[in-house]
Amino acid sequence: MKKCAVIGSINMDMVLSVPRFPAAGETLTGGNFQTVPGGKGANQAVALGRLGAPVRMAGRVGDDAFGRRYLDHFRQNGVDVRAVDAVAGTATGVADILVNAAGENCIVIAPGANGLCDLEWLDRALEATADCEIFLLQLEIPLDTVAEAVRRLRKMGKTILLDPAPAVPLPEDVLAAVDFLTPNETELKAVTAGLSEDAGIEERVRHLVGGSGRVVVHKRGADGAYIGTRDGIEHVPGFSVRAVDTTAAGDTFNAGLAAGLAMGWPLRDAVRLANAAGALAVTAYGAQEGMPSLEQAQALMARG
């Protein structure tokens, strides 16, 4: 199996269940509260570890209790942490997450050490992950760092998966250097902001594919995903599960896709694995609690 690396954010999530999202100025009484590991980059790394893929995390934490807890958590889930720095005098990133009765969430992030993932740090991170072949990136560390990482990884001949989240417009040369782009609906609109507001999914996906060899895998939640290539667009259906908390479903989807590619699976099969992993992720509270093993994901795939 090919080695994977994740370059990205590490957050400790503070998750509170609420009957509904509050209006401005309103105070609600919530329900269950948990402090759980999260962050888009770390979520993808842990999901890969759960799926049995060899994975190394590159990121930064603070020299605090959250940072120490996270390093132990990575190791317990099969994630290599040699490229994770603990920054003195800095807090680990945190995310405050409200989850409503429908399993929907809203999130506020304080970047902490994630904001210190600068270009000097990137030099060390790329050196520490040079033996990896498949790289996953997101946009919760500074955008300049992500853009430079993509450019340099392209020159190194690595396979690059970019989850363009949180949604922001991206430089054209960065998009051109990505092998697999995995936007959800909001992110798809953000990275095709030059198109008409009325442009549909297929037009946006075709625009991103263009004449390149780039693959666009458009995440659609319970509806599955759409694969866009130069040969056209194919829908890969999702799996029906009872959603409890959608936090990190997209991150787990990305990990499933990367794991399938790392195992040498055909693209459609890798996307089915991504759909199954993402579906199982929403069946438990917290960013990582529902992340499945490969066996659990394959069992769901076998059920259709």
Q: Are 141 and 177 in contact (CB under 8 A)?
A: no
Tokens of 135: 């790289």
Alpha-carbon gap, residue 212 to 238, rounded angstroms: 27
Neighbours of 42 (CB within 10 A): 33
Alpha-carbon distances of 31 from 18, 98, 168, rounded to whole Å? 6, 10, 33
Alpha-carbon gap, residue 257 to 273, rounded angstroms: 7
Q: Catalytic amino acids?
A: 251
Pairing verdict, β 55-62 and 4-7:
parallel
DSSP class per residue in 251-275: HHHHHHHHHHHHTT--HHHHHHHHH
Most distant CA pair in the chain: distance in Å? 52
Contacts of residue 134, Cβ cutoff 8 Å, sequence gap at least 6:
2, 3, 4, 5, 158, 159, 161, 258, 261, 262
